[in-house]
Structure 1
């Protein structure tokens, strides 16, 4: 009904010129027609108000478009005059800069005003919108050029040599300290300062501070003008070049995985130390400063801020991560473990910094890659440590160590694990839930033997993952040493070799941080072991000689009287045996002074006392000229044993 009522009061009108007449007609109908319903009256009232508004716009439209056109002409004239001048606006002084930015902002506002009119292509005013867009595009192109110019001309030099970082040589293990099995250079030369945040994150000015407000104003103007892509691409390309230069200054050349895998260890070792220093400076100083710069310029537009930082730095940080990835892929040689651990700890330490820098979806690819690289590096640490265990087990020798001294493998292994204690926190994390040495296959001859609950299940259940693996390593080493001892023909030298090496192991543990890992019970067992080998040495060497001091076999046939002939033969046999032992065992060696002295004293107490007693008991049956050496002489001769310098007593008498 309301629709019908409306039609009865609305004339058939076409064209803009009839809007005012239509509005007046509706007003008269509302006043004179008493038959209209309330709904109809309300609809007609609304329609009349709208028609009045449109008519008012139409009356003033011509006047407004004229104003817009005049303003556009002014702006265009200014812009073209600047375009005709080839010099950079930002070199013309602050007044010129301010005037240009105001003109650019006016062009933006004028364009937005025209766009709000929703003009059609058929409208006469549509041409103004096209001109406004052309002027705005010219302005934005010039601003992009100026933006690049300011960024480049005001870039600050990056001088990492003036950073307050300790050198990597102070932080890291000396490159010559761990090379390969059998290298004695490992002895007492390995040391490592704990990695620390010696240089906490701090900001440097990558661009002259006084131009930051201008850069921010340009960025805001371009983004507000919907030229965000041009602005961010300009910024990204300039800062990417600066980041590439930073990587170059830090001496981190771009290396492929193949380049790294082909590299000699000495060269690679140096590259790793350089990477460690570069990574700390790059993340905590340069990238932190880069993020700060991006914040200062794009801080009003968070999305573009993050995108600019991420896109400009992505290539550089991925280059640094690519080197780590190559290291994790390479052969798992034991000498690389310390450097790989250094890299792991540095990257793990920097991970929170990286996560804080690369926020949001835009940075997720970087943070994910960092976490993945760290995981792969952790896998490499485990694989390299397990290869270290395998290398101990498979280190078979065909020739024994000269003189029964400390085997190079023993020195290497004990100093190796002693140095690994510096990485205890990392190793406990990475070796957790990875067994206690049962993950590899070794020969039964060098398989670790479980001695009791303290070193098997009971021990493993109470100590750290690293401790379990270290005890397993020591057990593998002992088994290998036992196998190597069989290379000696003399039983006495076999026991001397084992005594030396097990004593060395015990002393290394007792005198270092390893004591807390192995425990006093382990040390007591090794002390007991090397003492047992010392006793076995004495039995193997001196038992047959001491048996010569028995009276059996030197009596006259048919009586208990001593036969002087047999007695003289007994002395002669003893002296020949003693001289042979002297000649042989002066070439044997006991490197530890205290252990050497203890074994000499123990041997002297047994041999010299037995000799002195035998001589005293038969002094009446033999003349002094048949006593080749006095007890004191022999005691002195025993002091020559285990020095590693062969001597001979034949045809000599030091009475």
Structure 2
């Protein structure tokens, strides 16, 4: 007995024989008279019996697995010939299908462990199970996409209370050569004021549980990649449709750069609205949808959200980049500032939406486009300054009125102050680069100089605005030399400096220029007004002096008086003919200058006429010399500065 190990033959109903034998061996082991050798034989026998019992149970279990697989395989494959959608059937049908898929998944896991023993039957059964699972996953992927697309909720931008782009008024600084005098009709883009928590349901809430169940089963079955791809491809189409509804067209950078400014201006306005809506409403809603479906697996949720939204965001950013790298032109500055401010305002939203590393590429591209637009703003403003200084004229401006350049510059800077925060930041950031320079202590918003009663801004943009008006004045001084008439030179400068002062006084520019600047330029325009009057009336008033006229009625005195009156008539006629064609837009300034001329000329003429008219009494052709009464001249002065040239020839009183 010590030299042999008993074997137990396996026969039909072997599990019963094995169990009985194991019980017999355990009974023998309790015998205290057994030698060590005998105990060793019994232990080995017990081990062999245990192994045989496991093998028997395994065979029995595989049989059960195969039977179970056949059952669920039939439930899954019967839908292959049915072209209807499972989730459009009764709820219990979809539930039964998911349950069958889950059973297949568990069978695959069980067989996977058994296959490690190398049993070919188990491996074959495992391959069969994987085939059934693959069929089920393909069907679930199809159902998942179908539910997503069929239950998509319409996105209606007009529900956000946006105004139509075509209805909004725009900046139209189309060139320095174009007169611009529509200040009241121009306004900043203020469309798409959207609440930060304006979340919407992009898919009908009723189907979210179904989508979540399908996603969970596919991910648990290691088909997460297929599930994600189904979600991404379906939702990408929805995002494309959203951009279409927001009137965003797919354009290459080359196409954008070839567009004329009028068309591009409209496209930018649509882009501004779309960028705000897409970032504040649509993207948060898309992220919410991802979290509702994949929320239990955050990495999958983040991946799906980023991959779904990335093409649309990059499309929007690509347009911003095209604008940033396009040719610099002053009329574009306001729209570029709008774009910069929108991207800057939306930056916290983008950072919150793409917190994970998987979204870092989007944030990097967003920051880069924002920086390029900022560089474009600074470069475009410098281009504006250069354009003001280099604007040339070859002929004098008709009528000595307010030059187009003056209107352009003053209205341009008036609207720039709406963007002062962005401009101050950008100009400060570019300090020392190119032509950009800043005042010391530019972080202080106001400063009060000694001896001045009012404060003014010393921010970078305030400095640059004051600087460009200096350039404007120098240019106007050069343009004034084109006039041959010195009176018209002073009249032109008076008109334009007065316009500048009124623009500053009547707007928020006052805080950027200060009362001292206003006082200085009031003095400048008054000096030009005085110089104008001196140049206009000095030679006329000389004729109304008593110098060289004797008080008497001798013929010599009468001859001098006739010449004086004739010369005065000719001089006044010439001033009238010229200055009725000169133009003062500002009614108050026009009236003030008329009154000032009247006080100087009419009073002198009235006095001269009262003193010497009687000396020509009895002259046969006295109307040739005394053509006008003082009241006539007063009325004629009312025709001055209206921009319509008139003549007094052949208008003598009869």
TM-score tier, shorter chain, comes to 0.7 to 0.9
- Show the counterpart of 1:446: none
CA deviation digits over 1:448-483, x for unaligned, max 9?
xxxxx979xxx9995222211211122111111111
The corresponding residue for 1:214 is: 210
| SS of 1:83 mapped into structure 2 | coil
Residue range with higher mean Cα deviation, 238-247 or 615-624: 615-624
C-alpha spacing 1:622/1:204, structure 2 compared with 1 (3 Å) = same
Whether contact under 8 Å (2:427, 2:436) holds in the other structure is: no
Distance in 1 of aligned mates of 2:609 and 2:432: 58
Equivalent position of 1:636 in the other structure: 635
Q: Is the counterpart of residue 68 in structure 1 residue 62 in structure 2?
A: no
Query: Do structure 1's residue 492 and structure 2's residue 474 form an aligned pair?
Result: no
- Aligned positions of 1:457-496 closer than 5 A: 463-496=458-491
Report whether the alignment pairs 1:292 with 2:291. Answer: no
Number of the residue aligned with 2:123? 126
For residues 290 and 438 of structure 1, do their structure 2 counterparts lie closer, same or farther at Cα, with a shift above 3 Å needed?
A: closer
- Corresponding position: 1:646 with 2:645: yes
1:84 deviates by: 4.1
Between 1:115-124 and 1:347-356, the stretch displaced more is 115-124
Q: Say whether the 8 Å CA contact 1:436–1:465 is kept in structure 2.
A: no
State the 1:434 CA deviation. 4.4
C-alpha contact 2:153 2:203 (8 A) present in aligned 1: yes
Distance 1:120 1:651 in 2: 127
Contact 2:152–2:203 (Cα < 8 Å) also in 1? yes
Distance 1:404 1:50, change over 3 A: farther
Measured after TM superposition, the shift of residue 585 of structure 1 is 1.5
The aligned residue for residue 581 of structure 1 is: 575
Deviation of 1:117 after TM superposition, in Å, equals 4.2
Which residue of 2 is the match for residue 238 of structure 1?
234
User: What is the aligned partner in structure 1 of residue 443 from structure 2?
Assistant: none
| Cα 1:281/1:410, change in 2 over 3 Å | same
Q: Are the aligned partners of 1:173 and 1:338 in contact in 2 as well (CA < 8 Å)?
A: no
Aligned match for 1:524, one of 511, 519, 538: 519
Q: Does 1:105 align with 2:102?
A: yes
Q: Tell me, in whole angstroms, the C-alpha distance in 2 between the residues paired with 1:352 and 1:253.
A: 26
RMSD, matched Cα: 3.9
Partner of residue 137 from structure 1, selected from 134, 137, 162: 134
Secondary structure at the counterpart of residue 538 of structure 2: helix
* Cα separation, 2, equivalents of 1:251 and 1:310: 23
* TM alignment of 1:44-443, pairs within 5 A: 57-58=54-55, 60-117=57-114, 119-122=116-119, 124-169=121-166, 173-174=169-170, 177-193=172-188, 195=190, 198-200=193-195, 201-434=197-430, 439=435
Counterpart of 1:125 in 2: which secondary structure? helix
Q: Which runs of 5+ in 1 are unaligned?
A: 1-10, 35-46, 442-452
Q: 1:334 to 1:12 in 2, by over 3 A?
A: farther
Tell me the alpha carbon deviations over residues 614-642 of structure 1, each in whole angstroms, 9 at most, x when there is no partner: 44555675548354433333233322222
- The answer to whether the 8 A contact 1:119-1:125 is kept is no
CA-CA distance at 1:89 after TM superposition: 1.8
Q: Residue 92 of structure 1: CA displacement?
A: 2.4
CA distance in 2: counterparts of 1:320 and 1:343, whole angstroms: 11
Distance of aligned partners of 1:50 and 1:539 in 2 relative to their CA distance in 1, 3 Å threshold: farther
In 1, Cα distance between equivalents of 2:54 and 2:342: 69
Deviation for aligned residue 1:532: 0.4
Tell me by how many angstroms 1:536 deviates. Answer: 0.4
Q: Return closer, same or farther for 1:185/1:235 CA change in 2, 3 Å cut-off.
A: same
TM-score using structure 1 length: 0.84
DSSP 3-state at the match of 1:82: coil
**Cα deviations by residue, 1:266-310 (Å, 9 ceiling, x for unpaired):** 221221122222222322232222222111111111111111111
| Paired residues of 2:480 and 2:492 also in contact (CA < 8 A) | yes
Question: 2:607 matched to 1:607?
Answer: no
8 Å Cα contact 2:180-2:407 kept in structure 1: no
Deviation at 1:500, TM superposition (A): 0.7
Alpha-carbon spacing, 1:298–1:51, altered in 2? closer, same or farther (3 Å): farther
Using the alignment, how far apart are the partners of 1:357 and 1:424 within structure 2? 29
- Distance in 2 between residues matched to 1:187 and 1:250, nearest whole Å: 29
Pairwise CA distance, 1:129: 2.5
Residues in 1 aligned to 2:603 and 2:34: alpha-carbon distance in whole angstroms? 150
Q: Distance in 2 between matches of 1:113 and 1:465?
A: 73
Structure 1 counterpart SS, 2:116: coil
Instruction: State whether residues 549 and 611 of structure 1, in contact with CA within 8 Å, keep that contact through their aligned partners in structure 2.
Output: yes
Measure the CA separation in 2 of the matches of 1:438 and 1:632.
62
Shift, 1:162, TM fit = 3.7
- Structure 2: gaps of 5 or more residues: 11-17, 37-43, 438-447
